[in-house]
Homo-oligomer: A and B are copies of this chain.
């Protein structure tokens, strides 16, 4: 099943996707599946982030080639993590597929994409085991973990490097059945492929994160876990660019870059 969240004049709504039809639901399918009877055309909808998470988790460094590349290209001193320490992003920064990425007026740094697989939590979970960990996941979508590299160097937290309004595109839709270890994630800039990698190369798997995290924290429906990216994150994005994160089983997360 694929589903999406979209904007109506009355507020956000949800729908199950069948071809180009969207059958409206009374809420997100991980709560319950009740059809309202209304149908929309997918290509006419204004998409929203599939969920607005209560807790917004991000794996950060989770692929060796990306760490090597960042150290070589950006002169960073990132280390391969020895344990799965989850990080955070902030929901203010979320925007759906089709929304603009707005570079702040005074930004001077390189604006770089990071195309990622995103797991969406569907039920409350604590104390998961490797055997049942994935049972709490309602589905998968795509995320673009945009970074502003000057702020990443100057600030003592990631608040401006990663969490500026619109710097976390998420979508376009949720696929409830795919193998998170076998996805190819690509990024295109203005139609040209800039990056492509397989999620099979994650340092720590989603199951591993889920088991370790839920020893200490309770997961809640709608929480998201962004799983990190591999490889380079260039070319730097300029106003006017179209950046797309692509996966065959989810679709295309597409956002235009503009200057404030």
Residues of A within 8 A of B (CB): 52, 54-55, 57, 60, 81, 83, 85-88, 90-93, 104, 106, 126, 154-157, 159-160, 163-165, 213, 215-220, 223
Return the contact of A55 from the options B92, B160, B217 (Cβ within 8 A). B92
In angstroms, how far is the closest chain B Cβ from the Cβ of A109?
13
Question: Contacting A87 at CB < 8 Å: which of B83, B85, B159?
Answer: B159
- Bound-complex Cα distance A147 to B23 (A): 47
Main DSSP-derived SS at the A contact region: loop
Find out whether the CB atom of A156 lies under 8 angstroms from the CB atom of B92: no
CA of A232 to CA of B90 in the docked complex: distance in angstroms?
29
Number of copies: 2
B216 and A165 contacting across the interface, CB-CB below 8 Å: yes
Cα of A165 to Cα of B213 in the assembled complex, Å: 11
Given A52-B54, A91-B55, A156–B104 Cβ distance below 8 Å?
A: no
Contacts A/B (CB < 8 Å), 10 sampled: A57-B90, A83-B154, A88-B88, A92-B220, A92-B223, A93-B217, A106-B215, A159-B216, A163-B216, A164-B217
How far is the CB of A147 from the nearest CB of chain B, in Å?
14
C-alpha gap A217/B52 in the complex (Å): 16
- From A104, which residue of chain B is reached at the shortest CB distance? B216
Inter-chain contacts of A154 with B (CB < 8 A): 83
